[in-house]
């Protein structure tokens, strides 16, 4: 999972730079923060497997997780 997190964190960092994110530019958030948030997202996704959730429940959980992270990231865009 660490390899996936590294790829996603780097893509997110580049996105924030290209977007001109003030939060990233000023150091409010940095590469370590991005890595932690990306890692948390993937850990949350894998919880549906660890807990053997039924497909319908897993889809709902993942939908809410995506919404949570999307809205959280908007703070830094």
pLDDT at 10: 98
pLDDT at 1: 87
> What span, in angstroms and rounded, lies between the C-alpha atoms of 2 and 52?
22
Segment 18-42, tens digit of pLDDT = 999 999 999 999 999 999 999 999 9
Determine what percent of the chain is predicted with pLDDT higher than 70: 100
Query: 59-65: long-range contacts at Cβ-Cβ below 8 A with a sequence spacing of 24 or more?
Result: 65/41
First CA to last CA distance, the chain: 25
pLDDT beyond 90 at 14: yes
Segment 51-63, tens digit of pLDDT = 999 999 999 999 9
Q: How many CB atoms lie within 10 A of CB 45?
A: 16
């Amino acid at each position: 999972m660490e390899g996936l997190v590294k790829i996603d964190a780097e893509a997110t960092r580049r996105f924030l730079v290209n977007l001109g994110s003030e939060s990233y530019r000023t150091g409010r958030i940095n590469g370590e923060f991005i890595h932690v948030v990306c890692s948390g997202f993937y850990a949350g996704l894998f919880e549906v497997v660890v807990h053997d959730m039924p497909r319908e429940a897993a889809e709902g959980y993942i939908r809410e997780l995506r919404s949570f992270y999307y809205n959280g990231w908007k703070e830094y865009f």
